[in-house]
Amino acid sequence: MNVCRLRLTVPPDEGSLPEQGANKLERTKKQLHHVPNGMSTGKFSDGMVYGVVHRTDNNHKKEMVVYGWSANQVKEEMNYIKEVRATLEKVREKMYGEYGEMKRKIQQLTSELTIANAEKDSLESHMEVQAAALNSFNEMNTSLTTASIELQKTLVDVSLENTDIRDQIRNLKCTHEQSMEKLKEKQKQLETAQVENQLLKLKVECSQEANADVMREMTRRLYSQYEEKLQEEEQKHIAERETLIAETNRLLKAIEEANKKMQITETSIQEKDQRIGELDRLIQRMEEERHQLQKQLVQHETQISGAKSQTHSDKQRSQHLEEVAAGLRERIKHLDDMVHCQQKKVKHMVEEIEILKKKIKQKELFIMQLLEKISFLECENKELQDRLDYLMETQPRTNVETREIGIGCDLPSRLPAEWSGSSHGSSPSHSPRRPGSSISKKESRIRDKKHLDDITAARLPPFHYAPAQLLSIEESIAIQTRQKEIYEEMQAKLAAHKLAETLNIKMVRYEPEGEASMKYREMGDEENYHSLED
């Protein structure tokens, strides 16, 4: 094959001298013979093949060379290559013809194979350890998910119990409001009865000289009927009191059980936090294993790169190492995905635990507020009970044998006129007991007020740590018994008032004079003083 070489020199101004450049190209044509390796001669049998080559020298920056190959040149080059190959094969046979060299090479290859097998066994054992670690990690994950589900169930149960307790407290509050409304209505009726009683006193004073015997008999009948009605109302009151005490005890036990369950949930949350910490440590260990696997992968890659530079006999070993490295890459990727997924799950569980803790705190605060309201209402009821007890102590006992027998129908109320009737109808034996009773009631009020301050103080711990410091069961039972006694007394007095109405006894207003008016003023001042203290 004939190689034609053309050298082209590009002038600075190509547009101005096109003809001169073409002439120079024609002058610089030369023939060169060259056949590239691996090309067949049949391709260029019919013509010439040209190639353009730029010069890279600094002196010939603007020169180009055109090459052309012929079929004869290609044949010559192929024959030359065959001869070179034959000589190379002869040299190879001479080099590897000796038996000792071949034996040494075989021993070297066997030693390399044993080393590769040992590395393979070590890698398989390491992968088995990693598989066992992944299985243990999966078991921990399943146990953690089951524990979180159990925690959610317990929290749902606690919330349902709290709603039930809230409904019960609401019902108690409604019943308490209804009882207070009834008490107000009864108080109004007592006020009307007091007015009628005063009218009755005036009428009795007018007619007591003429009808003393008739009035004695009538008062005896009224007193006996009053006693019977009082006993009936006392029995009813005792039954209602027992039911109310049982209900309050049940509610207090339910509150204590709710507190215990809340403490149990808190301990379970702490255990879950510890498990999350253990899971974090396991993730750290897995990351360390991943770093070790990456180091081994780098070592295998370096071995593979070194094996690629060796002879054809090490290709199988290099392929095996590449397969092992690919498997390690896939397992490292899978391990990274598992670690990332578990970290997300742990983060989500920690957020859920924090949300549940906040909800528990809100419920505890709500329960605290309800209990404070209950204690406040109980203190109010206790205060009303103390006042009614004081009024009942100051109320005189009816003496059938005295002349002022009609005054036994006096009914106490919150009006100032009640003290006038009591002072007028009381015997001298009852008057010295007033200062002592007022002092004892004052001390009891101070004690109750101090107890209320201790209950509502901000320095007390939360409800779930010390729920018994709000109000003991004995105190609440004592308060309820006092309220029931007051209710029984009022019911008995209402029954007496109804009996008086059936007998058509009219009552007129009574205004005290002299010592009775002074006693009335003293008792009114004491009542105002106690109301200011409250």
Residue 277, pLDDT above cutoff 60: yes
408 or 245: whose pLDDT is higher? Answer: 245
| Three-state DSSP class for residue 96 | coil
> Do 158 and 287 reside in the same domain of the chain?
yes
Residue 13, pLDDT above cutoff 50: no
Residue 54: what pLDDT? 59
Q: Give the end of a domain, one of 95, 129, 159.
A: 95
> Do 184 and 272 reside in the same domain of the chain?
yes
> Do 344 and 281 reside in the same domain of the chain?
yes
Mean pLDDT of 458-463: 40
- How many domains does one find in the chain? 2
Q: Are 372 and 456 in contact (CB under 8 A)?
A: yes
> Do 372 and 514 reside in the same domain of the chain?
yes
To 5 degrees, how large is the angle CA 416–CA 421–CA 427? 130
Pick the most confident of 24-38, 432-446, 484-498.
Answer: 484-498
259 or 41: whose pLDDT is higher? Answer: 259
Fill in the DSSP letter of residue 51.
E
143 or 247: whose pLDDT is higher? Answer: 143
**Lowest mean pLDDT across 31-45, 175-189, 378-392:** 31-45
Alpha-carbon gap, residue 258 to 246, rounded angstroms: 18
Alpha-carbon gap, residue 232 to 494, rounded angstroms: 13
Residue 472: what pLDDT? 59
Pick the most confident of 60-74, 132-146, 293-307, 465-479.
Answer: 132-146
Residue 449, pLDDT above cutoff 80: no
The domain in which residue 190 lies consists of 146-395+438-533
Residue 359: what pLDDT? 76
> Do 89 and 167 reside in the same domain of the chain?
no
Residue 504, pLDDT above cutoff 80: no
Residue 273, pLDDT above cutoff 60: yes
Mean pLDDT of 308-323: 66
Residue 361, pLDDT above cutoff 70: yes
> Do 212 and 339 reside in the same domain of the chain?
yes
479 or 418: whose pLDDT is higher? Answer: 479
Q: CB neighbours of 359 closer than 8 A, spacing ≥ 6?
A: 155, 159
- Which bin fits 38, alpha (ψ -120 to 50), beta or left (φ > 0)? left
> Do 178 and 320 reside in the same domain of the chain?
yes
Q: Are 74 and 44 in contact (CB under 8 A)?
A: yes
Q: Give the end of a domain, one of 95, 110, 137.
A: 95
Residue 516: what pLDDT? 54
98 or 429: whose pLDDT is higher? Answer: 98
Helix (H) or strand (E) holding 267: helix 212-308
Residue 458, pLDDT above cutoff 50: no
Residue 287, pLDDT above cutoff 80: no
Alpha-carbon gap, residue 492 to 231, rounded angstroms: 8
Q: Are 456 and 376 in contact (CB under 8 A)?
A: yes
> Do 225 and 306 reside in the same domain of the chain?
yes
407 or 72: whose pLDDT is higher? Answer: 72
> Do 378 and 471 reside in the same domain of the chain?
yes
> Do 237 and 374 reside in the same domain of the chain?
yes
Mean pLDDT of 420-425: 39
Amino acid at 456: T
Confidence of residue 337 (pLDDT cuts 50, 70, 90): confident
Residue 159 lies in a domain: yes
Tokens of 270: 């702490």
Residue 7: what pLDDT? 45
**Lowest mean pLDDT across 113-117, 330-334, 510-514:** 510-514
Residue 30 lies in a domain: yes
Using alpha carbons, select from 360, 361, 364, 383 the residue that is nearest to residue 372: 364
Residue 422 lies in a domain: no
> Do 196 and 269 reside in the same domain of the chain?
yes
Work out the mean pLDDT of the chain and round it to a whole number: 67
Residue 414: what pLDDT? 39
Residue 403, pLDDT above cutoff 60: no
Query: pTM here?
Result: 0.25
Residue 417: what pLDDT? 39
Residue 407 lies in a domain: no
* First-to-last C-alpha distance (Å) of the chain: 129
In this predicted model, what pLDDT tens digit does every residue of 52-99 receive, in sequence order?
Answer: 555 666 655 555 666 666 778 778 888 888 898 888 888 777 766 665
Residue 521: what pLDDT? 55
Confidence of residue 502 (pLDDT cuts 50, 70, 90): low
Confidence of residue 530 (pLDDT cuts 50, 70, 90): low
Q: Is 262 exposed, middle or buried (0-12, 13-18, 19+ CB in 10 A)?
A: buried
Q: Give the end of a domain, one of 95, 125, 155.
A: 95
Residue 167: what pLDDT? 87
Residue 364: what pLDDT? 77
Residue 63: what pLDDT? 59
**Lowest mean pLDDT across 4-13, 224-233, 389-398, 507-516:** 4-13
Residue 44, pLDDT above cutoff 60: no
> Do 151 and 54 reside in the same domain of the chain?
no
Q: What are phi and psi of 6, to 5 degrees?
A: -120, 130
CA 134 and chain centroid, separation: 30
Residue 164 lies in a domain: yes
**Lowest mean pLDDT across 359-368, 392-401, 404-413:** 404-413
